[in-house]
Structure 1
Amino acid sequence: MTMTDVRPLGANEATFIAAVRSGDTARFARITERHRRELQVHCYRILANYEDAQDMTQETFLRAWNKRESFKGHAALRTWLYRIATNACLDFLAKRNDRTPVTAERPGAGSEVRYLQPYPDRMLPEDPQESAVARETVELAFIVAVQHLPPRQRAVFILRDVQGWPASKAAEALDLTVASVTSALQRARVTMREQLPDRRLDWRSPATHELSNDERAAVKSYIEAHERNDLDGLMSLLRDDLRFAMLPEAGTSVITAKDAVDGWVANGLFQPGYDDWRGITTTVNRTPAAVLYLRAPNDPEHRLFAIAVLRIVDGKIAELTGFEASDKPWLDLPPTL
């Protein structure tokens, strides 16, 4: 018998083993449910899609139940669940080979992550320590950058550099050698530094909880410009090296402010009958966002139209990622104003 075999169990692990031995499914569910939010954020980092992350979290709990007899308490329950979740996501990616971003051929276009979905801040973990990690690594710029890693590198990077696992623990979880994990992490770090904007290279530093005054003012001005149909005012809020994406229709492009506004007009927005806007300020992915409502001709109400996730730099919008909002109930947005 090794020292590992006689190591005292933590209270959580002992309770879990007791639930397994007794076949108490309700108790099993209560114990594992405590980890739902952090596991869902973990799956979201790997998959960049809220609905898929929900599904894989549920798959994690199903696999945990099916493998419950294999848990002996040699690792923390949380570690065991993360291992299951990571491999569930890797199995999902192996079946869905369309989940690698494709570099567009057109000039000025970035790589396309069309499956990207916003993550609601209210679903971040409640545990202060885990929530702090989530805030640092759930911003869209970080999530998109991670998608450029091959799946196995993606898992290694998240376990090592986000979760802080030692190489030996990550290797065991992924059935790799320590040397393979070390090599994969080195390659992943190079790719991440190539993909992240310069200001995001400090992604591991503490993130603020509240919007800054500049961010609040910029989002307010963005909404008010829509409500006034003030295209010049809207253009003045956008940097000329704007990174813009409207998902899932297109990937990210670097375009001028004028081209962005001209494109919105060309697509029928701000035209008579489609120029009656209202908006509210919110946050998703720990990032300022504007929720836009549009009143169509002969409609008495302003209906949920889109959510624009904004990165503000020096009071101007440097990145705008737009999502159609009416098909995303998990954002918990009012359908009309």
Structure 2
Amino acid sequence: MTSVVSRELDPRLLEHRRELTGYCYRMLGSAFDADDAVQETMVRAWRGLGDFEGRSALRSWLYRIATNVCLDQLSGRQRRALPMDLSGSPWQPVEASLASRRPGTAWVEPILDRQVVADDADPAEQAVQRESIRLAFVAALQHLPPRQRAVLLLREVLRWKADEVAQLLDTTVASVNSALQRARATLSDLGARPEPRQLDDDDQDLLDRYVDAFERYDIDAFVALLHEDATQHMPPYEMWLRGPADIGTWMLGPGSKCRGSRVLPTRANGSLAFAQYRAREGGGREPWALHVLEVDAGRIARISSFLDLDTGLFVRLGLPAELD
């Protein structure tokens, strides 16, 4: 039993857990599927560690296992998406727009930066890691066939050499280069190539003003912080909104129950974010939505509001289950 426990806690495996979670998240588009994939990777590695002879680096071996686990998970699955991927036109800011809803497995899901971004990485590497988990990029990755997805991530995010990727996928360098070229073309058509950027003081000030307006429920001040083409979507609902006017109308109408909420600032998908706790009847506040914000030209350009509802989103992300 002692040997089993020691192997389960082998730091050679556990030290790679965070980066493997980031890789599996980009592959699968779900933090929770990524956790499952990494757990399966660790189990398979634990079972094979005694036979691992060091013919390749341990990290490469783990990525080979993780890639195979992800490819297995993706087999036969429909791609995850964001609401704007499903409809080219915005919806009306009315209650009836909530009629269309899809299960959680249909949507790209959020992930907290702390789950995948290394604390000890240099700032430039952290910027790359954050940019490669942005929602738009992760959603675009879901358009790629699984093996193309793996090639692009290994080559362009993790910066592996073509021959290393070929060895991992049991294919040729020519096949890897061809897959990478096709993947790049698809992402270019979607306008989703990542461009690393740093969070600056102006972004933090914008978040502070945004949170202040939201908690006071001053909608005039709130919409003044939005880009003229700002969008908001709210999985698991298919609806999405465009423009400060419609977003403000929604918040004063169907969304008015959010009045009196309190928020917990955080970072998710490489972006500013906050967890919203809505007032509960009888007192206290309950998890309601994780809002991931995208900034453009000093204004909020996209609000991705992932509703907790009955999904247990906050608990699964490690956020507080309630806020007093």
TM bucket, shorter chain: 0.7 to 0.9
What is the deviation of 1:108?
5.1
Residue 332 of structure 1 pairs with residue 312 of structure 2:
no
Deviates more, 1:74-83 or 1:228-237: 228-237
Pair 266,176 (structure 1): closer, same or farther in 2 beyond 3 Å: farther
Residue 76 of structure 1 pairs with residue 76 of structure 2:
no
> Residue 328 of structure 1: SS of its match in structure 2?
helix
Unmatched 5+ stretches in structure 2: 92-101
TM-score (normalised: structure 1): 0.79
> Residue 229 of structure 2: SS of its match in structure 1?
strand
Alpha-carbon displacement from aligned partner over 1:270-292 (angstroms, at most 9, x marks no partner): 25xx5222223221223111222
TM-score (normalised: structure 2): 0.82
Radius of gyration: which is bigger? 1
1:216 is matched with 204
1:276 is matched with 260
User: Partners in 1 of 2:300 and 2:204 — Cα distance?
Assistant: 12
> Residue 283 of structure 1: SS of its match in structure 2?
strand
Map 1:176-325; keep pairs closer than 5 Å: 176-196=171-191, 201=193, 203=195, 205=196, 207-208=197-198, 211-250=199-238, 253=240, 255-267=242-254, 269-270=255-256, 275-296=259-280, 298-325=281-308
User: Partners in 2 of 1:133 and 1:235 — Cα distance?
Assistant: 30
User: Partners in 1 of 2:18 and 2:262 — Cα distance?
Assistant: 32
> Residue 37 of structure 1: SS of its match in structure 2?
helix
Unmatched 5+ stretches in structure 1: 1-21
Alpha-carbon contact 1:60-1:85 (below 8 Å) kept? yes
User: Partners in 2 of 1:73 and 1:147 — Cα distance?
Assistant: 33
Q: Which amino acid aligns with 1:301?
A: G
Pair 133,73 (structure 1): closer, same or farther in 2 beyond 3 Å: farther
Alpha-carbon contact 1:100-1:150 (below 8 Å) kept? no
Alpha-carbon contact 2:80-2:107 (below 8 Å) kept? no
Higher relative contact order (CA 8 A, sep 6+): 2
Map 1:97-112; keep pairs closer than 5 Å: 97-101=77-81, 103-107=85-89
Q: How many pairs does the alignment contain?
A: 301
User: Partners in 2 of 1:135 and 1:248 — Cα distance?
Assistant: 24
> Residue 128 of structure 1: SS of its match in structure 2?
coil
> Residue 276 of structure 1: SS of its match in structure 2?
coil
| Runs of 4+ deviating beyond 6 Å | none
